Amino acid sequence: MDSNALRLDGNAAAGILSEIFISDLTAARATCAGCGATGAVGALLVYAHGMGTVMRCPSCNAVVLCITRTATQVRLDPTGARRIVIDAATLPA
């Protein structure tokens, strides 16, 4: 099976993102640093079948966010996200 058949939505990364961010990040909007496209984090393409959770831009396929977990660390690489905007209404009370 090629990796396109294994990809998921940003929704699938909501659990691991909740370990890092206090508000639900899948409802936030991310701007891709590669092409400038903006969309919901929940709509990014997620490849979670390998070593980590790789979240790619649905417009240009660049990596927007990447999360890897080791025995002692959770590592977030946000290089591909120019901006992440969280709607204040979705912030925890």
Partner 1 sequence: MPVTSESAPPLSGIAAAAPPTARSIAWRFSNVAEVIQETPRARTLILDVPGWPGHRAGQHVDVRLTAEDGYQAQRSYSIASAPEDTRVGLTVERLDDGEVSPYLTDELRVGDRLELRGPIGGHFVWDVSISGPLLLVAGGSGVVPLRAMLRHRAAALGTADAGARHQVPARLLYSSRRWDEVVYRDELARLAEDDPTLEVTLTLTREQPQGWTGFRRRIDRMMLAEVAWPPAERPHVFVCGGTLLVESVASALVALGHDPARVKTERFGPTGGSA
Residues lying near partner 1 in the complex (CB under 8 A): 4-16, 18-19, 22-24, 26-27, 39-43, 48-49, 52-53, 69, 90, 92
Amino acid at 87: D
Least distance in Å: CB of 34 to partner 1? 18
Looking at the Cβ atoms of 83 and 91, the one nearer to partner 1 is: 91
Least distance in Å: CB of 35 to partner 1? 15
Q: What are phi and psi of 80, to 5 degrees?
A: -80, 0
Amino acid at 46: V
HSE-up of residue 19 (Cα within 13 Å, Cβ side): 10
